[in-house]
Each structure stands twice: as structure tokens, then as C-alpha cells.
Amino acid sequence: MDIGERLYSLRQKTGESLQQVADKVGVSKAHVWDLEKGRSRNPSFELVRKLAEHYGVGIDVLTGKTGEPAASDIKIERIHRDLEDLSQRDRDIIAELIETMKRNKASNG
């Protein structure tokens, strides 16, 4: 599997459109399409880094040195990344919410 196929697979796992990915990494929709279709074979290192960061994977995933994470793992990584942008107070609120949900799940079997 080449980098284009990996990018397509990751985009499918995240449920994003070409435009959403393009907007997040600062390139055109056509450029993302060309990358996925293998028409643009030499993306800049900076773009590869942005794409890897966007999908929450290492560059090794895009180059094929390591396997792709499951869709659920990508979602968890994104949530984790988003938490870094919140205040400590907001992170504490979310942590308490998670604990409450875990307790509710345990008590409901």
C-alpha cells in the first residue's frame, strides 16, 4: 500500500470529506485528491507531517513502516489531542464526566 492509499484509508476511517482534510492541513481539495490517487507522488515533508498530525498518527504510518490504527483509536487520539487545548478546569470537568459515565456503566451492567 502506498502513501495515497493510506491517506484514503485514514480519511475513510475518520469519515471526513476531501475538503475537510484540505482545510485542516492548508492545501486544496484537488491536492488531497491527487495525493490519494497517487498523482502527486512527492508531497513535501511539511505536508506529510501535517497530514500525520491531522490523523493523529506517526509519519511511519503514512510511509508504511507501521500499521494503520483502527478507526476507534484515531477517534480516541483526536479527543486526547483536543483536550490539550482546554484549560485545566475544563479537563477536570471532562475527567469527572468520564468517571461518572464509567460508574453508570458499571452499575447498569
Instruction: Write down the domain spans for the chain.
Output: 3-68, 72-108
DSSP per residue over 19-67, as a string?
Answer: HHHHHHHTS-HHHHHHHHTTS-----HHHHHHHHHHHT--HHHHHTSSP
pLDDT 10s digits, 2-47: 999 999 999 999 999 999 999 999 999 999 999 999 998 789 999 9
Query: DSSP assignment, residue 86?
Result: S
Global pTM reads: 0.75
Phi, psi of 67, deg, nearest 5: -75, 160
> Class for domain 3-68, per CATH?
mainly alpha
Mean pLDDT of 55-80: 90
In the predicted structure, residue 59 carries a pLDDT above the cut 80? yes
